[in-house]
Every structure is written in C-alpha cells, then in structure tokens.
C-alpha cells in the first residue's frame, strides 16, 4: 500500500468481529490492510475501549479572526 487511509467505522467493526475467529495476520489479509495498521488499531482499542479517531492537529492560522474579516471585506468590496 502506497498511501495510508484511515480505517472506516465499518472496517473497525469488521476487525473487532474477526478477532473472535482469526489471528491478526489473517485479519490483515482479509481486510487487505497492512498488519501494522491492524495491530495499532487493536492496541488502541484495548487501551481505550474506543474506536473513534482522535482529531488531527492543524497548522495554526496565519490570520486571526479580525484579519480574516478585514480580508473578506476587502475582497468582497465593489
């Protein structure tokens, strides 16, 4: 896999269901996902009991709210 995509809620549910009958390598093959992805998800699930992803951190904004408003006003002027 060249590009990582987050596990969807459906994929997470499948992984948890597959854990009943399959080992991690078998789950990875069935899901067509990297074994590391499966392991990391299961480790996180066992530690937190949750399947939700944490929000990604974002770059701080280059403009504050007042600067954004001023820019919008300038651009939308006739």
Give the domain CATH number at 29: 1.10.10
Identify the band that residue 14 occupies on the pLDDT scale cut at 50, 70 and 90: very high
Please report whether residue 47 resides in a domain: yes
Using an 8 Å Cβ cutoff, are 15 and 38 in contact? Answer: yes
Range of the domain at 24: 1-53
Residue 7: inside a domain, yes or no? yes
Question: Please, which residues have CB within 8 angstroms of residue 68's CB and are 6 or more apart in sequence?
Answer: 61
* 69 part of a folded domain: no
61 vs 33 pLDDT, higher one: 33
**For residue 60, what pLDDT band results from cuts at 50, 70 and 90?**
confident
3-state SS string over the chain? CCCCCCCCHHHHHHHHHHCCCCCHHHHHHHHCCCHHHHHHHHHHHHHHCCCCCCCCCCCCCCCCHHHHHHHHHHHHCC
pLDDT band at 56 (very low <50, low <70, confident <90, very high): confident
Has residue 61 been placed in a domain? no
pLDDT of residue 45: 94
Q: Is residue 4 part of a domain?
A: yes
pLDDT at site 54: 73
* 3 falls within a domain: yes
Number of structural domains found in the chain = 1
- Does 2 have pLDDT greater than 70? no
Question: Is there a domain that residue 76 lies in?
Answer: no
């Amino acid at each position: 896999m060249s590009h990582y995509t987050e596990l969807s809620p459906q994929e997470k549910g499948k992984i948890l269901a597959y854990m009943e009958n399959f080992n991690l390598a078998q789950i990875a093959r069935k899901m067509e996902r990297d074994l590391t992805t499966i392991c990391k998800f299961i480790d996180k699930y066992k530690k937190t009991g949750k399947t939700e992803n944490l929000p990604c951190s974002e770059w701080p904004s280059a403009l504050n709210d007042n600067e954004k408003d001023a820019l919008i006003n300038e651009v939308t002027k006739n």
